[in-house]
């Protein structure tokens, strides 16, 4: 064994505690490098490829001779006092050929993608770009289903999915990646199986977590394009901000009832979501799909448009929806397009950004506060459970039951003895109620009825009670035949 020194170049000194010269004992160049990387293990990935060979841009000099030109290469013997020097070469180039020298298409793949490859806008080069692309879908639900199915079929090499839900019967009306047999399964397990069935050539990466400020950067950073299919404002702002901070395009879609929106938010080239909506709407103002409903076909249309934009971004073809918001009205069957401008005062992508890292998005969207308020309200008003209500009705107690839902909800299910007074019309109909009677107010889940009881209390009704958990609880506790929606 000889004592020799290894000279470490500036970019690698962060892994050697700042030292530029490391003394090692070794018989050959390979042993010397082995010693170096076992002592400073973080060096390994920068010097060697995954299969253990020296990276092409890493040059090793033994006393000013490039070992590639020495007969024994890395096995060249060393003598006391010899110096091994790691010298960088610097290489790179534009993205246009990134597919060409790194991925190949098999015969099977060429056959599979033939309809793509014969178009000059895609060609072999474009298909290789698709294969090399890494796309992350946030949500494997209404939008994520059609988007991921088409991206998988198109040959996007790596598809990441973020979701933590299980498949529910109420999903099947629009989330076409899942089948009836998948109810109760993890959405990611079900989606992955379906995607690999469509295209076994691709890789599906699962992130079975709720996307949060704590993990978003970590998850998003490994992907080229993010497809946002979330159904709530906190996650939408979180995805936007993480994409801006990481410099990644965000292919955005949203749906509500019969209307959809699509855009590409890419702060490097145009506006971001915050340029369009600086702040979220007050909680409760914009209902979610669970509350307001959605036409099942709509996410199919919006999600495939997101897939379309994603493929275009990968290919570098056409005009992406950057700086444009596409609005779709499925009842009128009309598309409208709004021009979006980058807001120079945008707090995250503007000229003087004030947001430099991810924040608490639940608090930003007022969700926490609203939930607390709701809980508080439900805690404050007098309540009755479904079981107790049933017992009192069976005992023949005179109780007036007011259902504050909407008429179309009434048609889905109701209690026979209840009266329908939608929440909005309650203030006008209070004079028809008797404050000396016991009144039980109900809705689907107990939230609207809590507000109704509060209104009644304020109007002097002392004997109004909220049905805890609403008709959902009634179905659970009293009458399983009552449908839940």
Partner 1 sequence: MKEERSREVAERRINLILSRHILAKIRAHVEGAYPEEACGGLLGLVRDERAIEVADAVSLANAREEERRRRYLIGPGAVVELERRAEAANVQVVGYYHSHPDAAPVPSAFDREHAWPWYIYLIVSVENGRMARAEAWRLADDRRGFISLLVGDENRATIGTQDR
Q: Hey, which residues are catalytic here?
A: 289, 443
Q: Does 354 bind partner 1 (CB under 8 A)?
A: no
> Looking at beta carbons only, is 217 or 286 nearer to partner 1?
217
Residue 268 contacts partner 1 per CB under 8 A: yes
Stretch that binds partner 1, among 53-61, 171-179, 228-236, 474-482 (CB under 8 A): 53-61
Q: What are the tokens at 91? A: 């290489």
User: Which of residues 173 and 215 has its CB atom nearest to partner 1 in the complex?
Assistant: 215
Contact window for partner 1 (CB under 8 A) among 30-38, 94-102, 119-127, 378-386: 94-102
Q: How far is CA 242 from the centre of its chain?
A: 11
Helix axes 470-477, 386-394, angle to 10 degrees: 70
CA distance 420 to 402: 6
The residue within the footprint of partner 1, chosen from 80, 319, 351, 458 (CB under 8 A), is 351
Nearer to partner 1, 87 or 290 (CB): 87
Segment contacting partner 1 (CB under 8 A): 244-252, 270-278, 319-327, 384-392?
244-252
Residues 162, 186: contact at Cβ < 8 Å?
no
Query: Residue 210's closest CA among 280, 113, 139?
Result: 139
Q: Are 150 and 124 in contact (CB under 8 A)?
A: no
What stretches of 318-437 adopt beta strand conformation (E)? 324-329, 334-339, 383-384, 399-403, 418-420
- Would you say 86 or 386 has its CB closer to partner 1? 86
Q: Tell me: does residue 16 bind partner 1 (CB under 8 A).
A: no
Interaction between residue 51 and partner 1 (CB under 8 A):
no
Nearest distance in Å: CB 91, partner 1 = 4
Residue 245 binds partner 1, judged by CB under 8 A: yes
Per CB under 8 A, the list member of 18, 52, 93, 398 interacting with partner 1 is 93
Residue 10 is a binding residue for partner 1 (CB under 8 A): yes
Q: Of the candidates 21, 39, 97, 360, which one interacts with partner 1 according to CB under 8 A?
A: 97
| Binding of residue 164 to partner 1 (CB under 8 A) | no
Least Cβ distance, residue 324 to partner 1 (angstroms): 19
Query: Whole-angstrom Cα distance, residue 366 to residue 128?
Result: 44
Q: Choose the stretch contacting partner 1; rule: CB under 8 A; options: 118-126, 295-303, 349-357, 443-451.
A: 349-357
Q: Which is nearer to partner 1, 132 or 317 (CB)?
A: 132
Question: What's the min distance (Å) between Cβ of 45 and partner 1?
Answer: 6
Question: Which tokens in the block code for residue 142?
Answer: 């209404």
| Measured distance CA(250)–CA(261) in Å, rounded | 13
Cβ partners under 8 Å of residue 252, min gap 6: 228, 236, 240, 261, 262, 263, 264, 265, 273, 306
Sheet with 464-467, edge to edge strand ranges:
383-384, 464-467, 438-442, 399-403, 418-420
The region of 85-93, 182-190, 192-200, 274-282 touching partner 1 under the rule CB under 8 A is 85-93
How far from chain centre, in Å, is Cα 360? 16
Instruction: Report whether 466 contacts 453 (CB < 8 A).
Output: yes
Q: Which of 177, 188, 127 is nearest to 156 (CA)?
A: 127
According to CB under 8 A, which one of 221, 278, 332, 341 is a site residue for partner 1? Answer: 221
Task: Kindly list the residues in this chain that would bind partner 1 in the complex (CB under 8 A).
Answer: 9-15, 42, 45-46, 55-57, 59, 61, 66, 87-98, 101-102, 132, 214-215, 217-218, 221-222, 245-247, 268-269, 351, 356-358
């Amino acid at each position: 064994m000889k004592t020799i020194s290894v000279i470490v170049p500036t970019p690698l000194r962060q892994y050697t505690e700042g030292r530029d010269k490391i003394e090692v004992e070794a018989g050959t160049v390979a042993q010397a490098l082995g010693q170096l990387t076992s002592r400073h293990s973080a060096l390994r990935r920068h010097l060697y490829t995954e299969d253990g060979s020296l990276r092409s841009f890493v040059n090793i000099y033994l006393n000013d001779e490039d070992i590639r030109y020495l007969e024994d290469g890395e096995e060249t013997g060393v003598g006391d006092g010899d110096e091994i020097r790691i010298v960088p070469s610097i290489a790179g180039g534009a993205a246009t050929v990134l597919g060409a020298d790194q991925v190949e298409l098999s015969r099977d793949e060429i056959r599979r993608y033939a309809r793509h490859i014969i178009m000059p806008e895609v060609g072999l080069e474009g298909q290789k770009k698709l294969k090399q692309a890494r796309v992350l879908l946030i949500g494997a639900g209404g939008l994520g289903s059609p988007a991921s199915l088409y991206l998988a079929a198109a040959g996007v090499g790596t598809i990441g999915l973020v979701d933590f839900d299980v498949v529910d019967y109420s999903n099947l009306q629009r989330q076409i990646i899942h089948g009836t047999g998948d109810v109760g399964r993890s959405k990611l397990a079900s989606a992955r199986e379906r995607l690999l069935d469509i295209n076994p050539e691709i890789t599906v990466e699962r992130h079975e977590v709720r996307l949060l400020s704590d993990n978003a950067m970590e998850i998003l950073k490994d992907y080229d394009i993010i497809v946002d299919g979330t159904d709530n404002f906190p996650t939408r702002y979180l995805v936007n901000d993480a994409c801006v901070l990481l410099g990644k395009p965000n292919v955005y879609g949203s749906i509500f009832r019969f209307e959809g929106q699509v855009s590409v938010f890419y702060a490097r080239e145009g506006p971001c979501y915050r340029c369009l909506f600086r702040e979220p709407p007050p909680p409760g103002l914009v209902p979610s799909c669970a509350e307001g409903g959605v036409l099942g076909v709509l996410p199919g249309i919006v999600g495939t448009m997101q897939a379309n934009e994603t493929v275009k971004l990968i290919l570098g073809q056409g005009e992406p929806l950057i700086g444009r918001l596409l609005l779709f009205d499925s009842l009128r069957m009309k598309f409208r397009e709004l021009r979006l401008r980058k807001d120079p005062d945008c707090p995250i992508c503007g000229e003087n950004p004030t947001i430099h890292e991810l924040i608490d998005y639940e608090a930003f969207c007022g969700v926490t506060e609203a939930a607390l308020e709701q809980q508080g309200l439900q805690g404050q008003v007098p309540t009755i459970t479904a079981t107790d209500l049933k017992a009192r009705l069976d005992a023949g107690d005179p109780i007036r039951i007011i259902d504050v839902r909407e008429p179309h909800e009434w048609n889905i299910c109701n209690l026979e003895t209840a009266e329908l007074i939608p929440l909005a019309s309650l203030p006008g109909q209070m004079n028809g109620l008797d404050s000396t009677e016991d009144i039980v107010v109900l809705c689907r889940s107990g939230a609207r009825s809590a507000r109704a009881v509060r209104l009644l209390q304020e109007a002097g009704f002392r004997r109004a009670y909220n049905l805890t958990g609403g008709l959902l609880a009634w179905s659970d506790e009293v009458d399983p035949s009552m449908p839940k929606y």
